Amino acid sequence: MELRSAALQALCISDPSAKCAAVHRLWAEREQIPLDPSALLAEPPGVPGRPALPRLVAPGTVPQRSPFTPAGRAALLHAIAHIEFNAINLALDAVWRFAGLPADFYLDWLRVADEEATHHALVAEHLATLGHAYGDFDAHDGLWAMAVKTRGDFLARMALVPRTLEARGLDVTPGIQAKLQKAGDARAVAILDVILRDEVGHVAIGNHWYRWACERDGLAPLATYPQLAARYAAPKLRPPFNHEARRRAGFTAEEMAWLGGLEA
C-alpha cells in the first residue's frame, strides 16, 4: 500500500465511522507506509464516498433554526457535523489528487484529515445526546462543489478551500459559541473550542502551501487571490473577520489590511 493510494481508498469510504477509523489508522501508520509523490492516480467512480443521508439540497433551502430550541440546536450541530465530514474528504482529496509536491504537503493534509475526523466524531457523539444522528437533516454541498471546481488547479485549491471556505469558520465560530453558551450547551461550546484551535492550524497549512505555490510560479499572493476567486466564482468574503485567529493562521499584515478594507 502507498500513502496517497490509501488516502484515495479512505476518501471512497461511505460510512462516516468507517471513514474516520480508516483516516486515524492511516495517520497512525504513516511512517510505515511508503509515499510516492510522483504517482499519477486515476480517479475512481464514487468520489467522495458518503452515506445516503443527509439529503443534499441547494444551500438556500437548508432551514435556519434557532439554537435556543432542542430541534434547532440539533440542526445547527448537524450542520457542523456535515462541515467536518466534508473537511475530511477535502483533506484526503488534496493528499491523493495533486502529484509532484514535497512530501510535507501530503503529511500536512493527512494530519488535517485526522483532526477533521476527530471533529466529526465529537460533534456526532454530542448530536446523539440530543436524540439525532448525522443524516437526520438536509445539508448542502457547497464545500465539495469548490473541490470539484478546483480539481485541476492546485493553486486555486489552496486559495479557495482552506484560505476562503475554511477560514470562514474562524470568523463565524465565536458567534456560534456565544449562542450555544446562552442556550446552556457547554459541551457544544467546548467541542467548538477544539475545532477552532485546530482550524487555525489547518488554515495556516493552506496559507503556507498557497504562498509556496505562488513563489514557485512567480506570482504575487495578494494580487493573485482575487483573480482566482473570480475565476472559480468563490463565495464573496463577508465581514466581520476574526482578525486574531486569522493572524495566528498566517494571514499577513498586508492581507489583513486588505480584509480590513472590506469591513469599511
CA dist 84 and 117 (Å) reads 7
Place of cell 453558551: 181
Who's near 55: CB < 8 A, 6+ residues apart? Answer: 138, 139
Specify whether the CB–CB gap between 211 and 217 falls below 8 A: no
Which H or E run includes 255? helix 253-263
What digits encode the pLDDT tens for the residues 144-171? 999 999 999 999 999 999 999 999 999 9
CA dist 210 and 227 (Å) reads 14
Specify whether the CB–CB gap between 137 and 54 falls below 8 A: yes
61 half-sphere exposure, CB direction, 13 A CA radius? 9
E-assigned strand segments in 29-97: none
Write down all domains in the chain, each with its CATH number in brackets: 69-263 (1.20.1260)
Would the pTM count as exceeding 0.85? yes
Residue 180 in grid coordinates: 450555544
Helix (H, G, I), strand (E, B) or coil at 24: helix
Q: What is the pLDDT of residue 249?
A: 98
What digits encode the pLDDT tens for the residues 49-104? 999 999 999 888 887 788 999 999 999 999 999 999 999 999 999 999 999 999 99
Residue 91 in grid coordinates: 483533506
Helix (H, G, I), strand (E, B) or coil at 213: helix
